[in-house]
Homo-oligomer: A and B are copies of this chain.
């Protein structure tokens, strides 16, 4: 018996997941995206294009949303969105990286319609989305997680049950906060070493071998040194995640001064027109050319 799943948002992450599931004949897959270019990537696959999010709510047991902004999630799970079209018994899984408050509102709207809501923001990037090894940060009641189990396993078996819906979104924001701040810190430190005239490949090795080591120094720094800024995770999204994490910290009365300074670099990169580039392009606003010789 085939099951129906529809994706609202078929960008870099949602699109890669939808494409992988569409290759499995056990699933009938629908996709909606406002971008014709995003949809064109489904030519030659088994996935069917939906005309609107509402069509997905009407035709699918599982509704998966993967949207860039909290405002997008708010709109989708509202009266003006798909809430009225959900069947009782439908299962909604939201993969977006958003604040816990918006997530709680979306969950309440979906549950009021008699459907089930699971938060499942995603770790890592498009490569892991395509090969099914993405970390899923799951939030929801145990009943909701059970109802969503079939589609969650189809997305990835690498699952972390974080707690409630709010906790799942908060965990994702905390992770991205650290990851993106580590990148800003790494580029500042690399800039100091480069300005001192240290060979860049050697400096890369130094940042990978000792106490400075991080995911960013292991994975992203070699791309940056090679001048490869192809988007895996874009500056616009990172800036949004940092902004949401810092707002969350303030609501919790928690310190976030270091990340708040890192956020300024992401905003500078946006002003420099780099919003669509990989976050590695932060180097263009943080990096120095070593021309200033020390006194």
Contact = CB atoms under 8 A, between A and B. Distances in A.
Interface stretch (A65-73, A106-114, A196-204, A270-278): A196-204
B189 A181 contact: yes
Contact of A160 (B178, B202, B257): B202
A152 to B, nearest CB: 17
A262 B295 CA distance: 25
Q: Contact residue range for chain A?
A: 35 or more
Contact of A184 (B205, B258, B294): B258
A146 to B, nearest CB: 20
Interface in A181-228: 181-182, 184-186, 188-193, 195-199, 202-203, 205-207, 209-217
Interface string A109-140: 00000000000000110000000000101000
Contacts of A179: 210-212
A233 to B, nearest CB: 8
Of A166, A253, A286, A292, the most chain B CB neighbours within 10 A belong to: A253
Nearest to A168: B198
Binding site secondary structure of chain A: helix
Interface stretch (A15-23, A36-44, A243-251): A243-251
A219 to B, nearest CB: 8
A185 B213 CA distance: 14
A176 interface: yes
Interface of A: 100-101, 123-124, 135, 137, 160, 162-163, 166-167, 170-171, 173-179, 181-182, 184-186, 188-193, 195-199, 202-203, 205-207, 209-217, 245, 248-249, 251-262, 264-265, 285-286, 288, 290, 292, 294-295
